[in-house]
Amino acid sequence: MLPSCFGSFSEGEMYFHQAKYEQAVSEFSKALFLNVTDVKSLHLRARSYEELEKYEEALEDYKTIIRFEPNYAQAYAGIGKLYWKQEDYKNAEKYLLLAANQDEEDFEIIYLLGRAMLMNKNYKSADEFLQLAKEMRPKDSKVYFYQGMARSQIGDILGAAGSFNMCLNFDPDNLPAKYNRGLIRLLIGYSEWAMEDFDDILKVNPNHIEALARRGYAKLEMDDRSGCKDLKEAAEKGSVYAQMHMEYCE
């Protein structure tokens, strides 16, 4: 019976990597009929269910894995990712933390845990876990971006600026990072640099009204009255920030 079991797993794995998820589920189910405790088949069947958006079935497989192997980090991570996909960030954080307790060196677990904490407004913890993720992959631009967002929320303005700088170093076209760096530069009085960031954004996306509004204010901070034109245009397009600062143009 064992060769048949392994054969079914091998077939299922092949289908999984070919993105033939229905066939994969069928093969893994055959393997599990012969060996109900085969966690590898359970894991890849759960992943196949995920790809088919059959989340309840995937969740059941992950829970079964945990019953057989309570220290199986990827099962906790799988549950956390399922909740993430359903925008249930509280439960996503809970299960990703359980996964991290079992495997603290898995980048995807630590990174996604940091992001879940960010979504749950646990900004200090998010910063700490994203720092761990950054140490694992020091050239991953997205880690710097989300760490910058976390640091902005805890008031570490210079740290946030550094994070956005590093993000843009590895991903120069990341407009959200450029926008957030511009906000920080404006906040700490680097108006000329802030204006350059907003100007770069508007060259790519002329309809970014908040970048237009902030560029206008940055210009006024530099005694450039053409900022009033930016503020007026942004205000007319619905920017509350621009509307609040139109008094500088009266």
- For the chain, 250 residues long, the average pLDDT of each consecutive 10-residue run is 57 93 93 89 96 96 97 97 96 98 97 98 98 98 98 97 98 97 96 97 97 97 95 96 92
C-alpha distances in angstroms, 167 versus 101, 161, 193? 28, 10, 17
pLDDT in tens, 214-242: 999 999 999 999 999 999 999 999 999 99
For 34-94, the DSSP string reads H-TT-HHHHHHHHHHHHHTT-HHHHHHHHHHHHHH-TT-HHHHHHHHHHHHHTT-HHHHHH
The CA distance from 143 to 162, in Å, is 12
pTM: predicted TM-score of the whole model, two decimal places: 0.89
Largest Cα span, the chain? 85
Query: What pLDDT is attached to residue 1?
Result: 38
Q: Mean pLDDT across the chain, nearest whole number? A: 95
Query: What pLDDT is attached to residue 225?
Result: 94
Give the alpha-carbon dihedral of 190, 192, 195, 197, to 10 degrees.
-70
pLDDT in tens, 2-28: 444 455 888 989 999 999 999 999 999
Query: What pLDDT is attached to residue 9?
Result: 85
Query: What pLDDT is attached to residue 3?
Result: 44
Query: What pLDDT is attached to residue 88?
Result: 97
Query: What pLDDT is attached to residue 35?
Result: 87
Query: What pLDDT is attached to residue 7?
Result: 52
CB 133 within 8 A of CB 143: yes
List CB contacts of 140: < 8 A, sequence separation 6 or more. Answer: 111, 133, 134, 170
Query: What pLDDT is attached to residue 10?
Result: 86
